[in-house]
Amino acid sequence: MAQLRRKLLDWYHRFRRDMPWRRTRDPYRIWVSEVMLQQTQVATATPYYERFVKRFPDVVTLADAPLDDVLAAWAGLGYYRRARFLHEAARVVAREHGGRVPTTAAAFASLPGVGRYTVGAVLSISVGARLPVLDGNVCRVFARWTASPLQAKRPADAKRLWSMAEALLPPAGGAAASGDWNQALMELGATVCTPRAPRCPECPVRAHCKAHAAGTPEAFPPVASRREVVKLRRAVALLRRGGDVLLARREGALLDGMWEMPGVDLAPDADAGVALRSALRALGVKARLADTSRRVKHTITHRAIEVEVWEATGAVTAPRRASLRWTDPASRTLALTALAKKVVAPAKRPRA
Ligand code: SF4
């Protein structure tokens, strides 16, 4: 095991990619990067990270910011629950920890949205805590090293994978840092031991890999069955006033706090006009609507949504309330859903 660890760490120190969050030991900044990277590729997350830490350079600035500002800075990264939890957790840090990110595992783990992976990643990298990490990359590497059909989604396998991650950590008091080790494992999975076509000839630890020895690296981990794509219908009202459009704040688990045109999900055989007018009435919005015949296609995870776009044929009145705003969608002051951006996109094009 010592040999495997040394080979992988040597490789990591020579070939690791330069990333902005690898140039700091600040637990707050490493935390931001880890939250962004949980569902997002490095190349996509990097400019968001740089803008985010410029706008919110420390945890207290983040805690003091309105949620709308935080969501606006996150807009486009998706999985907005991550931003809401980060903001909520920053407020707890400001209120209960004197504005310093707690660096004991128990205190950090008690913050909203902070799971075992985040605790291990942030504290091992920032303060050298001897804690393991387990993400999709690490799971794949472990499944291949052992040539075992381990799947992190199965509780018994997850337990075994976490035990492996713990057992492989560099010994306490040794020269190797747990943060480097954790990052080396993730880096190997991200750049060499990739899901398809792993680059085994370049792998620093191929001599220790059972799947490579068997010639079947891609058989591990076994591919989980894909969820079927569900087709959905939605109708939205694209209501304009000068350069502004009317936006409504979404509520509910998925896009809570994000903004988009007032709209309604439709049953397969529902009359879109009837349903949309009823949804607008419930919001207190008065408008005569007409179907533009424009259809916008949008996919979120396993849902393929076809959106019918309606517009007003005359003046629109909307009540003053916190969940409705007339806003220039190009101003980026509110966090628009990806769907809302698609719906307003043609309005930004110069007219012929
Ligand atoms: S030898 Fe191949 S399958 Fe094994 S860890 Fe390295 S890249 Fe992955």
Q: pLDDT grade, residue 253 (50/70/90)?
A: low
Identify the CATH homologous superfamily for domain 230-348: Nucleoside Triphosphate Pyrophosphohydrolase (3.90.79.10)
Residue 147: phi and psi, rounded to 5, are: 50, 50
Q: Where are the domains of the chain?
A: 2-219, 230-348
Residues 6+ apart with CB under 8 A from 345: none
Calculate what percentage of the chain has a pLDDT beyond 90: 79
Q: Sign of the C-alpha dihedral, residues 247, 53, 46, 138?
A: negative
Mean per-residue pLDDT for 141-160?
Answer: 93
Q: Alpha-carbon Rg of the chain, whole angstroms?
A: 24
Contact in structure between 91 and 56 (CB atoms under 8 Å): no
Query: In CATH, what number does 2-219 get?
Result: 1.10.340.30
Coil, strand or helix at 188 = helix
Best probe residue, ligand 1, of 15, 168, 187, 205 (max atoms within 8 Å of C-beta): 205
Cα(318)–Cα(240) distance, integer angstroms: 11
Q: pLDDT class for 348, splitting at 50, 70, 90? A: very low
CA distance 47 to 52: 8
Model pLDDT for residues 54-79, shown as the tens digit of each residue:
999 999 999 999 999 999 999 889 88
pTM over 0.85: no
C-alpha of residue 162 to centroid of ligand 1, in Å: 19
Report which protein residue has its CA nearest ligand 1's atom 2: 200
The ligand 1 atom at the shortest distance from the C-alpha of residue 220 is 3
List, by residue number, the catalytic residues.
34
How many angstroms does the Cα of residue 99 sit away from the middle of ligand 1?
42
Span 203-233, pLDDT tens digits: 999 999 999 999 999 999 988 777 788 999 9
Question: Which ligand 1 atom is at minimum distance from the Cα of 192?
Answer: 7
Residue 209 Cβ contacting ligand 1 at under 6 Å = yes
Residue 217 Cβ < 6 Å to ligand 1? yes
At 7, list the tokens.
Answer: 């080979």
Residue with tokens 């690791």: 16
* Ligand 1 lined by 203 (C-beta under 6 Å): yes
pLDDT band at 254 (very low <50, low <70, confident <90, very high): low
